[in-house]
Structure 1
């Protein structure tokens, strides 16, 4: 089985803000993960990535928020996207961004 794209989309939040979500189902877990998904979700404001969730090989599931990298407890793709959207709302609120 080859990797299968499950989600590949860009969501525009404002003229200067967008989210890009890419999620694949992969034949075997990425090194550092126990599930068969590979993902990168990014929120970009004014040309800067201010929030990112990813599971790069060797690091496992983690997120970048407020300049810090922390482990992320992946459970399923729907929860991943919901958590990401909640963090976008939180970032927008904390930074007074639309």
Structure 2
């Protein structure tokens, strides 16, 4: 399977939080997804995810909010990143 890294961003915050976003383009969809992107978006503390989005093989597109996991409706790559960064902004507000 051909894989191409499209996007990678990592940031460490002064309070210890970590944000990491990776998106790859594949030649065919991951099982459970209808698009050709594989992604892993994480925001949290070391060993503790606060919010994340991914499309793990077989599970399809989903979002993690704390310990909760819920289905995510993938519209576009731009919308996915916008939704993720909006969630991070909400969590970072004092």
- Give your verdict on TM over 0.5: yes
Contact 1:8 1:23 in 2 (8 A): yes
What corresponds to 1:71 in structure 2?
Answer: 71
Residues 3-35 of structure 1 show CA distances to partners (whole Å, capped at 9, x for unaligned) of 110011202333411210010000100000100
Within 2, Cα distance between the matches of 1:37 and 1:70?
A: 19
In the aligned structure 2, how far is the partner of 1:80 from the partner of 1:37?
Answer: 11
Corresponding residue number in structure 2 for 1:2 = 2
Which range moved further: 51-60 or 84-93? 84-93
The alignment yields a C-alpha RMSD, in angstroms, of: 1.5
Partner Cα distance (2:26, 2:46) in 1? 32
| 1:14 match: secondary structure | coil
The 10-residue stretch of structure 1 (69-78 or 45-54) with the greater mean CA deviation from structure 2: 45-54
If the length of structure 2 is used for normalisation, what is the TM-score?
A: 0.89
Instruction: Give the TM-score taking structure 1 as reference length.
Output: 0.86
Whether the aligned pair in 2 keeps the contact of 1:21 and 1:40 (CA below 8 Å) is yes
Contact 1:16 1:47 in 2 (8 A): no
Aligned partners of 1:55 and 1:61 also within 8 Å: yes
Q: Deviations over 1:56-91 (max 9, x none)?
A: 011000010031000001111111110001111222
- SS of 2:42's equivalent in the other structure is strand
SS of structure 2 residue aligned to 1:83: helix
What is the count of residue pairs matched by the alignment? 94
